[in-house]
Amino acid sequence: MEPASAEALGCASFPPEMARDVVLAIDQGTTGTTVLAVDSKLQVIARSNREFRQIYPKPGWVEHDLTEIWQSAGATLSEVLEAGLDPQRIAAIGITNQRETVGLWDRKTHVPIHNAIVWQCRRTAERCAQLEAAGKKELVRHKTGLVLDPYFSGTKAEWLLDHVPGARARAENGELALGTIDTFLVWQLTGGKSHVTDVSNASRTMLFDLEAADWDDQLLDMLRVPRAVLPEVRSSSEVYGVTKGVPGIPDGIPIAGIAGDQQAALFGQACFDPGDVKCTYGTGAFVLINTGPKLVRSTHGVLSTAAWKLGPKAPVEYAMEGSVFIAGAAVQWLRDGLGIIEKSSDVEALAASVPDSGDVVFVPALVGLGAPHWKPAARGLIAGITRDTTRAHLARATLEGIALQVHEVVQSMKSDAGGQIRSLRVDGGAAANDLLMQMQADLLGQSVIRPKMIETTAAGAAFLAGLAVGLFKSKDEIREAWQEDRHFQRKDAAYAERILAKWKGAVAKA
């Protein structure tokens, strides 16, 4: 069915003389919710953030209270408006979110029947092992582009249906709604009128066929997830509904853009063409390469995923993704575990105080190795220590360990995509580290480009929503709004040769 227009959904009630030139971008992350009011020139005119609880019922289990997430979203939206933003300027709301986290709620009362199970949660590891033993690994890989891992939503959804009393029967009867965080937020924003997700989030559930761009009956049967409980899969840029009954927010504002956080960052970096690559340096590092309308299946340890779909009639565009589990968290370990720096930002000056790492190699496999190795049992390793080793050498080796992991992922993607990568666009907290970015450029032999707008996930949500309501006319207009802060180019051509052999030897022992 063709989605209704913004006007048909009630948006025409705004005075025609009022310029609706602002998008509210909801960036719903793992530890908190941020709302940015962004204008058509990509200027942030208001910002609010709220953290919420992390719940750890058992070792390896992680949960979020969906009600607290909604409260954090509502509070941040209200605070942005209270900062002086005229609500009649708001053209649309865009959403970007932690992706694989999944929840279950009552359709009538809108009340969650259990805490959401977070992407970090490992409670379904045994179930994944059972499925692999039953020969389901290749089925999952072929249909979804993912590996069979508790990271993804499918086994989490199955767990909720099996372990919450009465949930499976109620789900089959259509009494319950299931979804990732984007789905829950749209549900709440529209007063329960819209139960939807977009292709980027659906592609992280392990229930979605990438080629068919829809829920897959074979996968649903495998995990016993009834279709009746699932949201409708829509594009990433269209009007899904309008606000209704949200405290502090006017009714009738269209919700018009959705993308999972990493895909939103890819879009926010204006990586619109095949071969465009971005890396987000956060707790971990997430590298995505745009492969366009072509679904590329990796043979080098990275995942295939949906990037976005720009409108109901547009084709799905795809990406490959590689996840580095430990990036900024390695610096946090230097600070909190070893106490060799007082704050994370100190690592750059300390590492720069020595000309090299003194043959020290640090493999930061503190929670296993992600792409391209996928070795959950790997553990961190520091090699090459001598009596001359100082904390500065360890700090420099830590930054090199981050850059080397990203280098491995990018090289894997280049092998799969069969083409050259023009540059790497970077964002996230650690992207502010000039020394790390220069290491990355020297390793890759290609430009590393940092934008002025560092909150690229929110920018992506704003762009997608703005396109849907006409605030942005085209991707070319978005390219013009995107602005570069700094361009890093290779300075030391021999750097990669000096360090890669030592790195590979250390990784093999981790």
Q: What is the pLDDT of residues 218-257, one digit of tens each?
A: 999 999 999 999 999 999 999 999 999 998 888 999 999 9
CATH code: domain of residue 108: 3.30.420.40
Which of 262, 287, 303 is the endpoint of a domain? 262
According to DSSP, residue 339 is labeled: -
Q: Do residues 258 and 274 both lie within one domain?
A: no
Q: Do residues 347 and 287 both lie within one domain?
A: yes
Q: Do residues 473 and 395 both lie within one domain?
A: yes
How much of the chain is in helix, strand and coil states, percent to nearest 5? 35, 25, 40
Kindly state whether residue 6 falls inside one of the protein's structural domains.
no
Q: Do residues 258 and 358 both lie within one domain?
A: no
Q: Do residues 277 and 201 both lie within one domain?
A: no
Q: Do residues 315 and 256 both lie within one domain?
A: no
Q: Do residues 219 and 290 both lie within one domain?
A: no
Are the C-beta atoms of 168 and 162 separated by less than 8 Å?
yes
Q: Which are the contacts of 467, defined by CB distance < 8 A and separation ≥ 6? A: 237, 257, 310, 474, 475, 478
| Angle, alpha carbons 405-410-415 (nearest 5°) | 130
Q: What is the pLDDT of residues 46-62, one digit of tens each?
A: 999 998 888 899 888 88
Q: What is the pLDDT of residues 228-237, one digit of tens each?
A: 999 999 999 9
Kindly state whether residue 2 falls inside one of the protein's structural domains.
no
Q: If phi over 0 gives left and psi between -120 and 50 gives alpha, with beta otherwise, what is residue 301? A: left
Q: Do residues 224 and 276 both lie within one domain?
A: no
Q: Could you give the number of structural domains in the chain?
A: 2
pLDDT given for residue 13 in this prediction = 39
Kindly state whether residue 56 falls inside one of the protein's structural domains.
yes
Q: Do residues 354 and 336 both lie within one domain?
A: yes
Are the C-beta atoms of 38 and 45 separated by less than 8 Å?
yes
Q: Do residues 321 and 234 both lie within one domain?
A: no
pLDDT(15) > 60: no
Q: What is the pLDDT of residues 156-210, one digit of tens each?
A: 999 999 999 999 999 999 999 999 999 999 999 999 999 999 999 999 999 999 9
Mean pLDDT in residue range 125-130: 92
Q: Do residues 256 and 274 both lie within one domain?
A: no
Q: How far is CA 180 from CA 157, 169, 333, 461, in A?
A: 10, 20, 30, 16
Which of 233, 262, 291 is the endpoint of a domain? 262
Q: What global pTM score does this model have? A: 0.88
Kindly state whether residue 14 falls inside one of the protein's structural domains.
no
Which of 237, 262, 287 is the endpoint of a domain? 262
Question: Domain range for residue 91?
Answer: 19-262
Kindly state whether residue 10 falls inside one of the protein's structural domains.
no
Q: What is the pLDDT of residues 384-402, one digit of tens each?
A: 999 999 999 999 999 999 9
Kindly state whether residue 494 falls inside one of the protein's structural domains.
yes
Q: Do residues 211 and 304 both lie within one domain?
A: no
Kindly state whether residue 207 falls inside one of the protein's structural domains.
yes
